[in-house]
Amino acid sequence: MQEEIYPNLYRLKIPLPESPLKYLNSYVIKGGARNLVVDTGLNRDVCKSAMMEGLKALNVSLDTLDIFITHLHADHFGLLSELVTENTKIYFNRPDAEIIEHWQGFEPMIQYGARSGFPEEILRSALHQHPGFKYGSRWTPSLNILNDDDVLEIGGYRFSCIQTPGHTHGHMCLHEPSARFLIAGDHLLSDITPNIQCWWEDGDPLGDYISSLDKIYHLKVDRVLPGHRRLFENYTERIDELKHHHEHRLEEILRLLEKKSPITAFETASQMTWDIEADSWDTFPVAQKWFATGEAISHLRYLERRGKIRRQSEDPVITFGLV
């Protein structure tokens, strides 16, 4: 089903089975000789069928289609290889492209998860249910790299590319200043908080995310077109809510460390407050434990980088305590 949001700009709801997100918002911008799709869905038959039916209803053929991908995650990138033709231009960001170019599989993430206290055998079972493992792109076509402040013109719109790292290294939004809307990918969501994970030793994803929220705060935006859930208008209010959410998370972790130290990221996640229907941490779906632990690592990293906590051990597992 296609929904007209603005002139020449439509939303397709691409189903995401077995996911609490329910569907991906894929945006189609009709531009005459060339058309643009923003984000694709998973590499699954149900996603491809929804995409093809939506494009057909809009009278958009694949050989007229270019594709902009906001970020690397499989629910946005995975169907890409099924849509490209020899004429397709694929627009993408440099930092996420470098992850593809240097991809070593999921093993480094598993090893870092084990060092963070996640039982390795459980982590490996979670991997096999991870959408990025099951439904990623079959291959990666040639990518046209867009950088911060580059301009993309299509369908009467003039989009400014804004790099907003945090959810991924190179996540990119599209801002239309004249029409005053933002295609936000997973940087801003209406009623859930974007997942900010960390599964590596370097970097500060939460710090990057908060900086990216500050970076876009003063843009002229009347309406946000997110990657999931409903479109929304309370732009700066939502940014404030997201920042406050992470402030509360950081305070919660400091309180946990006052009660118990040293502690691993996995143990930290098990004691944090989550909006998930489960009686206890033991009954959490394994995939949700993966996301929760990745979030805990990113928050611990943020506190560590700012001198609020310190590592108390490195081997065999990383543990933290108050300074």
Q: Note the pLDDT tens digit of each residue in 86-108.
A: 999 999 999 999 999 988 888 89
121 lies in a domain?
no
Q: CA dist 297 to 22, 42, 94, 202, 289, Å?
A: 26, 26, 24, 11, 12
227 and 258 in a single domain? The answer is no
123 lies in a domain?
no
At residue 285 the predicted structure's pLDDT band, cuts being 50, 70 and 90, is confident
| Joined tokens for residue 275 | 């909006």
150 and 48 in a single domain? The answer is yes
98 lies in a domain?
yes
148 and 228 in a single domain? The answer is yes
192 and 252 in a single domain? The answer is no
Handedness of CA 57, 58, 61, 66 (dihedral sign): negative
Number of domains forming the structure of the chain: 2
| Joined tokens for residue 98 | 């470098």
Q: DSSP letters of 252-296?
A: HHHHHHHHS-SB-HHHHHHHS---S--SSGGGS-HHHHHHHHHHH
pLDDT at 286: 85
Reported as a single tens digit per residue, the pLDDT across 305-317 is 999 999 999 989 9
17 and 56 in a single domain? The answer is yes
Domain end marker among 169, 203, 233: 233
Domain encompassing residue 181: 2-115+129-233
Domain end marker among 233, 250, 279: 233
- Cβ neighbors of 273 (< 8 A, separation 6 or more) are 252
Cβ proximity of 285 and 293 under 8 Å: no
SS3 (DSSP) at 206: helix
Higher pLDDT residue, 279 or 74? 74
- Cβ neighbors of 40 (< 8 A, separation 6 or more) are 14, 24, 26, 47, 51, 67, 69, 76, 77, 78, 79, 80, 83
CATH number at residue 300: 1.10.10.10
Reported as a single tens digit per residue, the pLDDT across 164-188 is 999 999 999 999 999 999 999 999 9
Answer whether 0.85 is exceeded by the pTM.
Answer: yes
166 and 309 in a single domain? The answer is no
Residue recorded with tokens 């929304």: 232
Domain end marker among 233, 268, 294: 233
